[in-house]
């Protein structure tokens, strides 16, 4: 089953004259399989138009204005049990690449670097106990990023009307009502996620944990 989704954002750059068009073509049969071919490639305008030929004219007119469209493969890293081992740590997409439906992968890469960098630079961290700093980073950041990845994937399904219990494209004679409930669910889920602590709260938690762990290790 292939589902298409269309969205666009107006960038402030270029004094609001630039429109960034993002259009998704989802083939669920291919989820979880390795991607063959180039991760980013040029596509012709015809191919782009073809994929969205059943859309309303406003969307199709926007596609006609696109110069040099490119296709991006979407990759995810499924839940890793660890993000550190000995003195090695993974951050960002290498550790938790996620779908772009929450626009959060870049932010999480930055938050990983923020927390890890501060832990490594902390006066309590030494070469001998660097593994404690890395484990603290893992404890604080891994589950948060993986939670967001799950949320992003779930929202992606909902954006594409693949939301059993809300709306999944089946005609039950109450489409308007189902779409309204789906809209409310999406708004609620996005709001719930945006309320999560953030980078500074994550860092404060990490620093407390580092202090406790290093005191415990030294006493031991
Ligand atoms: C279509 C799309 C839309 C997105 N939209 C958003 C959004 O709106 N907001 C958001 O927050 N996130 C978004 N993301 C996700 C975001 O782009 C990534 O989460 C983010 O770029 C991850 O940063 P990173 O530094 O971990 O990895 P990357 O950005 O992939 O950086 C890794 C770098 O390492 C380099 N590299 C790889 N191998 C080697 C090597 N052997 N030696 C040296 N260098 C190497 C690569 O060339 C690359 O420059 C989107 C992603 C996609 C695909």
Q: Point out the ligand 1 atom lying closest to the alpha carbon of residue 112.
A: 26
105 CA distance to ligand 1 centroid (A)? Answer: 8
The pairing of beta strand 18-27 with beta strand 40-42 = unpaired
**pLDDT class for 205, splitting at 50, 70, 90?**
very high
- The residue among 111 and 199 whose pLDDT is bigger is 111
144 CA distance to ligand 1 centroid (A)? Answer: 18
15 CA distance to ligand 1 centroid (A)? Answer: 26
- Say if residue 180 is in the same domain as residue 209: yes
Last residue of a domain, one of 14, 42, 72: 72
Residues with CB under 6 Å of ligand 1 are 72, 74, 92-94, 100, 103-107, 109
- Say if residue 142 is in the same domain as residue 206: yes
Q: How many CB atoms lie within 10 A of CB 80?
A: 13
CA distances from 112 to 90, 128, 176 (A): 9, 22, 41
Last residue of a domain, one of 16, 38, 72: 72
The model's pTM: 0.87
Instruction: State the total domains in the chain.
Output: 2
Q: How many CB atoms lie within 10 A of CB 57?
A: 8
CA distances from 149 to 49, 126, 187 (A): 30, 32, 17
**pLDDT class for 1, splitting at 50, 70, 90?**
very low
pLDDT per residue over 43-83, tens digit each?
999 999 999 998 889 889 989 998 899 999 999 999 999 99
- Say if residue 30 is in the same domain as residue 102: no
- The residue among 192 and 134 whose pLDDT is bigger is 134
- Is residue 77 one of the residues assigned to a domain? no
């Amino acid at each position: 089953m292939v589902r298409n989704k269309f969205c666009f954002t107006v960038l402030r750059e270029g004094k609001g004259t630039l429109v960034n068009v993002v259009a998704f073509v989802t083939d669920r049969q291919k989820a979880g399989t390795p991607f063959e071919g180039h991760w980013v490639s040029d596509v012709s305008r015809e191919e782009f138009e073809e994929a969205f030929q059943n859309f309303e004219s406003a969307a199709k007119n926007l596609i006609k204005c696109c110069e040099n469209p490119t296709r991006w493969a979407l990759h995810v890293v499924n839940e890793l049990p660890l993000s550190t081992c000995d003195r090695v740590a993974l951050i960002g997409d290498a550790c938790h690449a996620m779908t772009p439906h929450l626009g959060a992968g870049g932010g999480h890469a930055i938050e990983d670097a923020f927390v890890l960098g501060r832990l490594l630079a902390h006066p309590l961290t030494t070469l001998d106990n660097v593994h404690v700093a890395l484990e603290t980073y893992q404890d604080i950041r891994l589950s948060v990023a993986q939670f967001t990845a799950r949320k992003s994937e779930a929202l992606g399904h909902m954006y594409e009307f693949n939301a059993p219990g809300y709306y999944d494209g089946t005609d039950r004679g109450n489409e308007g009502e189902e779409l309204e409930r789906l809209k409310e669910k999406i708004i609620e889920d996005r709001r719930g996620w945006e309320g999560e602590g953030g980078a500074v709260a994550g860092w404060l938690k990490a620093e407390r944990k580092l202090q406790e762990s290093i005191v415990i290790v030294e006493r031991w």
